[in-house]
Amino acid sequence: MAEATSSSQVYDLLILTDATSSMDEYLHALNQSLPKIISISALTGAFARIGVMAYRDYCRPGLLEWSGWFGRDGDIGRDELLHFMRSVRAQDGGDWPEATKTGLASAYSVMREDAKTLVLLYADAPPHMGGWDNGPNYKKEIEYLTAEGCKLSPSAGLFADWVSAARTLNGTGHGAKQAQIFSIVCSHTNEAFGPFMYMSHQTKGTCIQMKSPDSPLISKLTMSVLLAWMGVKKAGEPEETFDDAFNLCYNNLDDIDALENEKDPKADIYFVLQRSQVEVFRSNICQNTLSDEKQLRAIITPRDIPVTDFAKRYVSDEDYRKIVVENLSKIIREDVSSITLNPVFGALWRAVCNDRRNEARNVLIADLGVSIANMGSSSEKSNLQTWLAESYNYAAEIAAMIEEVPLAERFPCVFLDPTQHWHLHRSEDGDEDDQKDGTITSFTCSQLLEIGRSCDSKILRRLGTVLTRLTYVTTPEELPNHVMGMKDDELPRIPIALAKQQHNRVFWKILLHLVVPGIKLGARPAALLAALSIRMGMRPLMNAADYEMAAWKDKWNNINASETWNADCLALILDADKSFEARRRVLDVPQELQEASFLSTEDRHLFETLVDYGMLMANLNTTLTAKIGWKPTMSKVPIGPLVVCKACHFPRSVSMMAHKGICGKCITPKAQYVYGVTKAESILMSVSQGTTESHEASFVECRIITCRAQYVVYNVDGLKVHPKCYYCRFVGTDRAPWVECRKCLNRMIWPHEYRPLDQDVAQNFLCSACNSGRATIVDFEITLADLCKENGDKWLLRHDGKLEKPFEDRSLFKTVLEAGIDIFAEHVEVLPQSNTDLRIDGKIIHNAAELKSALTSWIKSRRTEAGLCNLCFSNFRKSTLRSACGRSGCGQRICRDCKASWYSMNSRGRIINTAALCCPFCRRVPSPRAVPKSDLVFLGNLKTAVEDSGAWIYAWCCACSFAERMMERVCAQGAPPEVRDWECEDCSAFRTHSNESLLRQAIIRHCPRCDVATKKLRGFDHISCGCGAHWCFFCCRQLPLDDIYRHMANVHGGLYDILGAEDDDDVEMDLD
């Protein structure tokens, strides 16, 4: 921990808490607060040591638990202290009062004389008091404390009496140890909070009463009490507010210091002596509402010297800077939202942000970004992002930069004319960022800073809107009259000269300050903004953008900037590079940049390859129109070449001839005619002695892809299965004697012994369908992904084995890391030269070259095909559409919003709509992986609700989170009455007839590994504990992470895993 401040007084912090069965909320709050308390102490030097002690009562073992001291001269480390706090379990208790005196005596025994101890005392029950408590535990406590040679300490007997204990702790009794006690109590009974009022008053502390044991309130009060005691308050930020918290104090203090013991008759106005005298005590109490931190500071006696110099200390003390980084890193990982609520963390975070020389700064900022992204609460995330934006206000710094530019270089410049109203259309800003007032200044800091994370079209459109609204003037005389007299602080004007090296090229970093005052981009986002300006052809800013991009020539290929390695960002850089090279060839760039370039030859080739690869991935679902030979399905076309069968003497199609001049009908044994037609009848079907080659017959195509030879079917009605030729059925695959049509490239069976000797039919065959003028080459729409299933991907992508899974849905960054940046462009090529025939269901694609050309056009133009959501009928990128249910045979694709809204129609406390549990199209239960993760996915008893839906109406119980019967389905005249916050009969009865302690036990479980108390506020029953255990909240069973959801579905009656994704063959996965 950090060294104490310059004050001669040294302070220790001791957290003393009742740990009986009703204290779960307190213990949970302390687990949340303790890491922050440790960090505050380390950052401010407020406490030399920190310890935690828990007390219970004499009815069972486990009376006291003590962590030991953490800190300077302590005997445990931070992790040990936190582990101890997590291991304290609320249990036992016996009678109502608890062994608070023993707890204080134990606390006194570990205190030291050369330090003052700040005690945070948490309780919801009174100590054993002699005036009204004559129970067995009271007697046991007195005997234990007053026994000769008490194990606690020789001074333990001083705590057998409450008045004596208070004098001992405030230093006016025996001994030199001294404590200041702040009591946080939740109780409505006078007997309970009276003793704590007295103890806090006598030790110059404060007694705070809560109406209910609310964990967030306890955490807020804990931190606010400590900060108020340290003399720290937020600068220019909202005060923390409290609900249902009160300060308890006395009206009459005349005899408070004259009490001899806890049974002194004069004590009846300071705490309850006899229950019959409650009104006497109550008349002396003043209860003041605590609504915010300002009121709290007014009633707390602070430390002698406030802790206020920690931010200044950061600047001058190198060792302290390391402590700050270490503790901020822990806070960001453990409870990132506290950084906005705690002025210590907030002040030091801003100090680190301003310290550009600190190498750890960027790591902390990156960690903060990750933590924000992983936050579950949207409101907390929004509050943190708002606070963070305020932390990056560089208005003063930007004003100083502009002021430093010599007057002769102040023009040309750009500014945002305040008199021009630039209305934003909805399409200019996207659906998600619809501005309230519809003007350019309504953009937020976070919206403009997004270019540092993504170059998505929406973000570029937003910044393009900004660039096109700026006013550019070259001389002071060109300034409009209405702005000519305005000062720089009223209307910032940014000189173009700031783009040059002598001014540190800050122009693009501060340009957006014109829209959102105080915003400043990092070096990389600033260069991307310059690239966008070039891509848009912003002539007034072109030279400034060229200087910026030229300076970044060797910086783009940086593996540490993962945000660069995506198709949108690389495409933006390549477009700027292409523009510059074109202008350089015609001498349309500044003279000093004539020999410059934006990219090296190697980087240009690498980026082009990566963008092509990225666009290839984005076009996997693009539909291409292929031309292939037709597929006859009992289609009638001229029969073609004939041979007279030697057995039946009928002219037969050569496709039906067996060996030795016998047709297939005649050579087939009678026993094989088993489908209601005799052999004699079959021979006479669809044939006559007068049949010629021009007569029409029914053709089919063998379903075996490697064969797909066509042949004539005489018994059309008898074909009840998919066609399969004689050779594939009886001889073997690929043994059919077929010939290929030179036009449609279809095949027809023509045995060798019946081919004319004077014709080379194998090389010059024209099928009867083509010969008769039928359209035998048809269009077939197919996606690129489906085309690869049959043809592989070598024709599409050469990667020389450097990409293990080339079409896996992963980022370009991960892909280039896998292959190696230095060799990626050498070993990866999109659409390499290839003469490989492409096929669909075995048929050669006639226009393969045209398909490749069309695909090349999609890739090089960086476009993707739009797809239609089949639920809302809006157009989206095909890659963003998802299978509606993940089941094969359905094929319907819908947008993310429709998918989320459909499967989230059912909500907690409402009637369950069983129809909305299934696919909206095929009405089957969707694949588990196709349903958006929500509470509904793992709702218990849902399978039963679906099975009983014909007889019962089920609802989602908001108490036990199970689907339970609500009413019998007896009327079909209309929908049942709507309900909200519905509870099942069992939960409702339990809530009505159970006391507060049982209710708490019902919503609190203990981790099966570390035994820490856990309260589930919302969500499904998978609990991921800090100790690493994964367990089911409903049955407290610990399971491996891979098995936890299957357990909840199978054991507790979930619906969406009844098939099991791993065991279900009927699952259609998205390739994108």
Each as own residue / partner, the long-range contacts of residues 79-86 (CB below 8 Å, 24 or more positions apart, any chain) are: 81/34, 81/38, 81/50, 81/51, 81/52, 82/34, 82/35, 82/38, 84/52, 85/27, 85/30, 85/31, 85/34, 85/52, 86/31, 86/1010, 86/1012, 86/1026, 86/1027
Q: Are 340 and 381 in contact (CB under 8 A)?
A: no
The beta strand positions in 189-291, using DSSP E, are 207-210, 245-250, 285-289
Interior/surface letters 122-147, b for 16+ CB within 10 angstroms, e for the rest: bbbbbbbbebbbebebbebbbebbee
DSSP 65: E
Q: Tens digit of pLDDT for each residue in 792-813?
A: 989 999 998 888 888 887 888 8
Interior/surface letters 710-745, b for 16+ CB within 10 angstroms, e for the rest: bbbbbeeeeeeeebbbbbbeeeeeeebbbbbbebbb
Q: How far apart are CA 899 and CA 584, in angstroms?
A: 50
Q: How far apart are CA 924 and CA 236, in angstroms?
A: 57
Q: Tens digit of pLDDT for each residue in 954-993?
A: 998 887 778 888 888 877 667 788 888 888 888 887 777 6
pLDDT at 376: 65
Q: Tens digit of pLDDT for each residue in 91-104?
A: 876 678 889 999 99
Beta-carbon count within 10 A of 423 CB:
10
**Percentage with pLDDT > 90 across the chain:** 37
Burial class (CB in 10 A: 0-12, 13-18, 19+), 396: exposed
pLDDT at 904: 80
Q: Are 461 and 428 in contact (CB under 8 A)?
A: yes
Q: Tens digit of pLDDT for each residue in 534-553?
A: 999 999 999 999 999 999 99
- State the DSSP H helix or E strand holding residue 12, giving kind and residue range, or none if neither: strand 11-18
Q: How far apart are CA 316 and CA 313, in angstroms?
A: 5
Q: How far apart are CA 97 and CA 99, in angstroms?
A: 7
Residue 1071 has pLDDT above 50, yes or no: no
Q: Are 779 and 621 in contact (CB under 8 A)?
A: no
Q: How far apart are CA 746 and CA 744, in angstroms?
A: 5
Residue 34 one-letter amino acid: L
Q: Radius of gyration of the chain from Cα atoms?
A: 41
Which of 265-269, 286-290, 348-352, 1047-1051 has the least mean pLDDT? 1047-1051
The beta strand positions in 612-695, using DSSP E, are 623-629, 633-638, 642-644, 651-653
φ and ψ of 974, to 5 deg: 180, 175
Beta-carbon count within 10 A of 403 CB:
8
Q: How far apart are CA 370 and CA 563, in angstroms?
A: 13
The structure tokens 């007084």 sit at 9
pLDDT category at 176 given cuts 50, 70, 90 is confident
Segment 1003-1020 shows an average pLDDT of 73
Residue 860 one-letter amino acid: K
**Percentage with pLDDT > 70 across the chain:** 89
φ and ψ of 428, to 5 deg: -75, -20
Residue 1027 has pLDDT above 90, yes or no: no
What tokens does 957 get? 């119980």
DSSP 342: -
pLDDT at 377: 64
Q: Give the bridge partners for 666, in sequence order.
A: none
Q: Tens digit of pLDDT for each residue in 778-795?
A: 999 999 999 999 999 899
Segment 639-654 shows an average pLDDT of 96
Given 3-state DSSP classes, what are the helix, strand and coil percentages for the chain, each rounded to the nearest 5? 40, 15, 45
pLDDT category at 638 given cuts 50, 70, 90 is very high
- Measure CA 330 to chain center: 20
pLDDT category at 150 given cuts 50, 70, 90 is confident
Q: Tens digit of pLDDT for each residue in 352-394?
A: 876 767 778 778 877 887 777 777 666 677 777 666 665 666 7
Nearest to 576 by CA among 757, 455, 729, 482: 455
pLDDT at 745: 95
* SS3 state at 778: strand
Q: How far apart are CA 267 and CA 281, in angstroms?
A: 9
pTM of the model: 0.59
Residue 436 has pLDDT above 50, yes or no: no
Residue 162 has pLDDT above 90, yes or no: yes
Q: Tens digit of pLDDT for each residue in 835-873?
A: 889 999 999 999 999 999 999 998 898 888 778 888 888
- What does 975-991 look like in DSSP terms, one character per residue? PPPP-SS---HHHHHHH
Residue 123 has pLDDT above 60, yes or no: yes
pLDDT at 7: 47
Q: Are 293 and 225 in contact (CB under 8 A)?
A: no
pLDDT at 472: 94
Q: Tens digit of pLDDT for each residue in 299-352?
A: 888 887 766 566 667 777 788 888 888 888 888 887 777 676 666 777 777 778
Query: What is the average pLDDT score of the chain?
Result: 84
Q: Tens digit of pLDDT for each residue in 913-949?
A: 888 888 888 888 887 777 776 667 667 788 888 888 8
- State the DSSP H helix or E strand holding residue 414, giving kind and residue range, or none if neither: strand 413-415
Residue 748: partners with Cβ closer than 8 Å, 6 or more residues away:
640, 655, 709, 710, 711, 738, 739, 741, 765, 767
DSSP 295: H
